[in-house]
Amino acid sequence: MKISIITARTKNGVIGSNSSLPWKMPSDMRFFKQTTIGHHVLVGRKTYESFNVQLVERPSLILTTKSEYKPTYKEDQTINSLEEGIKKAKEQNETELFVIGGGEIYKQALEKNLVTHMYITEIDAVVEGDTFFPEFDKSEWNIIRNDSFAAGEKNDYDYSFVLYEKK
């Protein structure tokens, strides 16, 4: 099973501000949906609670230390560790599990060397924020796809969809 991170980050590593995205990038939202639909997503509780909608056709595995926590949607489950989430996804015959945040969850997944792929929307801007994507050693990854696009009427900034694969 592939274990993939998916995120959007700015040049200064920002991935969020005040529990939301500090940019308007509909193309990135479409990419996120198209890439993750039909797969399990592993998400931290705070990030899960920041969603305004259910991630349809993407059961959430919510990482939390709160034993009494109840997910908003019946398809979603709580987990106590990244490893438990990976085990549950495998038990449900998942082919690619997506780690979708937040910053601390990304950091743990990378530090524990659990990630095989990273789908990163690289936003060509420096933006203020309070949540950051962790630094990673680019020499440990191959770029297997890099598609660049210009800002436009709907997207605030130039951006690239970059797919990294662990060497």
- What pLDDT, on the 0 to 100 scale, is given for residue 20? 93
Q: What is the mean pLDDT of residues 114-135?
A: 98
Whether residue 109 contacts residue 115, with contact meaning beta carbons closer than 8 Å, is answered with: yes
- What pLDDT, on the 0 to 100 scale, is given for residue 52? 79
Mean pLDDT of the chain: 96
- What pLDDT, on the 0 to 100 scale, is given for residue 32? 97
Report CA torsion sign: 27, 33, 36, 41.
positive
CATH number of the domain residue 102 falls in: 3.40.430.10
List, for residues 9-35, the tens digit of each pLDDT value: 999 999 999 999 999 999 999 999 999
- What pLDDT, on the 0 to 100 scale, is given for residue 24? 94
Whether residue 98 contacts residue 112, with contact meaning beta carbons closer than 8 Å, is answered with: no
Q: What is the mean pLDDT of residues 143-152?
A: 97
Does the pLDDT value for residue 53 go beyond 90? no
High-pLDDT (> 70) share of the chain, %: 100
Residue range(s) defining the domain that contains residue 124 = 2-166
Identify the residue with better confidence: 136 or 53: 136
Instruction: Tell me the CA distances in angstroms from 5 to 15, 41, 99, 152, 162, one per residue in order.
Output: 13, 10, 5, 26, 12
Does the pLDDT value for residue 148 go beyond 90? yes
Q: Alpha-carbon distance 167 to 56, whole Å?
A: 32
Q: What is the mean pLDDT of residues 46-63?
A: 93
Name the helix (H) or strand (E) containing 35: helix 26-36
- Number of domains composing the chain: 1
